[in-house]
């Protein structure tokens, strides 16, 4: 087993850190992409009778656009019992938000939501 600090170090080493400016640049590019394509797909709606994929594409783009605007996304982490899922997520978040002990702790769906109005996200 790894400590949270060791896992956090491995995560940081594996994925290059983005500066806030780099993150914002990528975020803005995604937003521009969505802004450009949603109207194009919407303009094709009259052809939805012959191409049902257009309705599905529009729904998908709208969902992604909403998640982009709210900065809300889902992450699924599935692994065997006691394989370090909670420890890994704690390392990703930089704090021990999820319990991790010698007995199974999170044998259910767990939702973690950031609250920017609380100190340290708690």
Using CB atoms within 10 Å of the CB of residue 39, give its burial: 0 to 12 exposed, 13 to 18 middle, 19+ buried: exposed
**What is the per-residue pLDDT for 9?**
61
**What is the per-residue pLDDT for 105?**
61
Under a CB-based contact definition with an 8 Å cutoff, are residues 20 and 100 in contact?
no
Give backbone dihedrals phi and psi of 50, rounded to 5 degrees, phi first.
Answer: -95, -15
Mean pLDDT by 10 residues, the chain (122 residues): 55 65 86 87 77 82 87 78 81 79 69 74 58
In this structure, how many other beta carbons lie within 10 angstroms of the beta carbon of residue 91?
22
- The answer to whether the predicted template modeling score (pTM) of the entire model surpasses 0.75 is no
**What is the per-residue pLDDT for 1?**
46
**What is the per-residue pLDDT for 15?**
57
Q: How far apart are CA 108 and CA 119, in angstroms?
A: 27
Cα 71 to chain centroid, rounded: 8
């Amino acid at each position: 087993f790894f400590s949270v600090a060791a896992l956090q170090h491995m995560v940081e080493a594996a994925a290059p850190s983005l500066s806030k400016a780099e993150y914002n640049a990528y975020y803005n590019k995604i937003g521009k992409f969505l802004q450009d394509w949603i109207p194009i797909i919407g303009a094709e709606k009259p052809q939805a009778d012959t191409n049902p994929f257009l309705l599905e594409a529009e729904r998908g783009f709208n969902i992604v656009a909403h998640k982009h605007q709210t900065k809300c996304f889902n992450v699924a982490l599935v692994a065997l019992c006691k394989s370090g899922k909670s420890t890994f997520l704690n390392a990703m978040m930089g704090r021990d938000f999820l319990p991790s002990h010698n007995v199974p702790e999170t044998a259910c769906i767990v939702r973690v939501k950031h609250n920017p109005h609380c100190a340290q996200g708690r």
